């Protein structure tokens, strides 16, 4: 098997680079006119303005429309407590950050239900339920640092980004959610809500029982933030699980991956603050191979990221991706 191609465009030509890469790669010949196509984007947590520029999304949407596809901008709810934990609030954050219908020319669909509890399971990975409607994906990732993985690029954008809460929970934690008794005010919202009837009262405090399947919906339901989980998965294990989830997302799908190495910050866009970039903008890397695409971007940012996360080896996700057959770390770079 030959080396995968990674296309590169410098920062000043990123906007024109998107349609050129979509054309040159032949991606659209792999799709069928009239079909839905998911454009995967991270809108950024409220307070973080380092997310992708909505104009980049608009450019991808226009390219899809030209080929008579139906572009939909897709995302999922977040696991942690924040402004994107519920689908309706998540869409409000997207609008605030400029991803309105008027600007991106496509609707937004949050794929895992209002509370992130809707999932289906493929290869043991709990993916957002409505992902099943999408055979074609354009993966637009903002490349930046990440607390557990060292960096977040195209693999993470699909793995964490298209997992339902159950999947995010499984990647981050070895245990099911639990109730913090001190914070529980016995409102009963979680008991009424749990689709699996797994929550009951015990001594006037909610208690999660054995029927819990770890869907994570109750975390978003509790108005008091009393339902918790342990962020106890080790960095190495999280990276390996992300490679596995990315593989599950890509099973029987056609996708092309874009890493925008612009505004590279220490933390990911889930962080509710606008951090200063740690290096000057580098540009855009794109490929059909997500491992090669992340390897190319990581290769250009390694020194700066190592200083931020000296204890983390980000190559685990790349090695695991290669081991699983998700892609290759050696690639051919084509500068456009």
Who's near 53: CB < 8 A, 6+ residues apart? none
The rounded distance, in Å, linking the Cα atoms of 119 and 169 is 12
How far apart are CB 203 and ligand SF4 at their closest, in Å? 12
Q: Are 82 and 43 in contact (CB under 8 A)?
A: no
Task: Using the minimum distance from each CB to ligand SF4, give the nearer residue, 184 or 292.
Answer: 184
How far apart are CB 85 and ligand SF4 at their closest, in Å? 13
Task: Using the minimum distance from each CB to ligand SF4, give the nearer residue, 41 or 226.
Answer: 226
Tell me the helices (H) and strands (E) count for the chain, helix number first: 11, 16
How far apart are CB 224 and ligand SF4 at their closest, in Å? 4
How far apart are CB 116 and ligand SF4 at their closest, in Å? 10
Q: Virtual CA dihedral for 38, 41, 42, 46, nearest 10 degrees?
A: -100
List residues binding ligand SF4 (CB under 6 A): 117, 177, 179, 184-190, 194, 196, 198-199, 206, 208, 212-218, 221-222, 224, 226-227
The rounded distance, in Å, linking the Cα atoms of 75 and 157 is 10
How far apart are CB 122 and ligand SF4 at their closest, in Å? 19
Task: Using the minimum distance from each CB to ligand SF4, give the nearer residue, 119 or 298.
Answer: 119
How far apart are CB 157 and ligand SF4 at their closest, in Å? 24
How far apart are CB 196 and ligand SF4 at their closest, in Å? 4
Task: Using the minimum distance from each CB to ligand SF4, give the nearer residue, 210 or 276.
Answer: 210
Task: Using the minimum distance from each CB to ligand SF4, give the nearer residue, 182 or 252.
Answer: 182
The rounded distance, in Å, linking the Cα atoms of 184 and 200 is 12
Task: Using the minimum distance from each CB to ligand SF4, give the nearer residue, 162 or 221.
Answer: 221
Alpha-helical (H) ranges within the chain are 14-24, 54-66, 87-96, 101-104, 154-159, 165-172, 189-193, 217-221, 235-250, 290-308, 315-324
Locate 229 and state its tokens.
């989980």
Q: What are phi and psi of 196, to 5 degrees?
A: -110, 5
Task: Using the minimum distance from each CB to ligand SF4, give the nearer residue, 115 or 298.
Answer: 115
Q: Are 169 and 180 in contact (CB under 8 A)?
A: no
If we measure between CA atoms, which residue out of 86, 136, 90 comes closest to residue 249?
136
């Amino acid at each position: 098997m030959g080396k995968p191609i990674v296309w590169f465009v410098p920062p000043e030509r990123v906007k024109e680079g998107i349609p050129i890469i979509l054309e040159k790669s032949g991606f659209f010949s792999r799709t069928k006119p009239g079909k839905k196509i998911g454009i995967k984007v991270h809108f950024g947590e409220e307070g973080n303005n380092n997310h992708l520029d909505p104009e980049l999304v608009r450019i991808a949407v226009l390219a899809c429309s030209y080929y008579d596809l139906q572009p939909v901008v897709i995302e999922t709810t977040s696991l942690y407590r924040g402004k994107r934990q519920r689908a309706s609030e998540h869409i409000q954050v997207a609008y605030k950050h400029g991803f309105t219908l008027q600007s991106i020319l496509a609707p937004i669909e949050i794929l895992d239900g209002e509370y992130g509890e809707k999932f289906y399971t493929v290869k043991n990975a709990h993916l957002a339920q409505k992902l099943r409607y999408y055979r074609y994906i354009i993966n637009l990732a903002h490349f930046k640092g990440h607390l557990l993985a060292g960096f977040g690029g195209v693999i993470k954008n699909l793995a964490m980004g298209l997992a339902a809460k159950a999947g995010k929970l499984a990647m981050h934690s070895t245990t099911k959610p639990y109730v913090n008794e001190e914070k529980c005010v016995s409102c009963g919202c979680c008991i009424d809500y749990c689709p699996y009837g797994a929550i009951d009262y015990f001594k006037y405090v909610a208690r999660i029982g054995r029927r819990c399947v770890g869907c994570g919906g109750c975390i978003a339901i509790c108005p008091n933030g009393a339902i918790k989980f342990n962020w106890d998965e080790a960095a190495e294990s999280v990276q390996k699980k992300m490679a596995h989830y990315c593989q599950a997302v890509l099973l029987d799908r056609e996708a092309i991956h874009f890493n925008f190495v612009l505004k590279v910050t220490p933390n990911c866009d889930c962080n509710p603050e606008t951090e200063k970039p740690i290096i000057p903008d580098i540009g855009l890397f794109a490929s059909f191979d997500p491992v090669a695409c992340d390897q190319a971007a990581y290769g250009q940012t390694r020194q700066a990221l190592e200083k931020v996360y000296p204890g983390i080896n980000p190559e685990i996700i790349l090695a695991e991706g290669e081991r699983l057959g998700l892609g290759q770390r050696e690639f051919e770079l084509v500068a456009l």
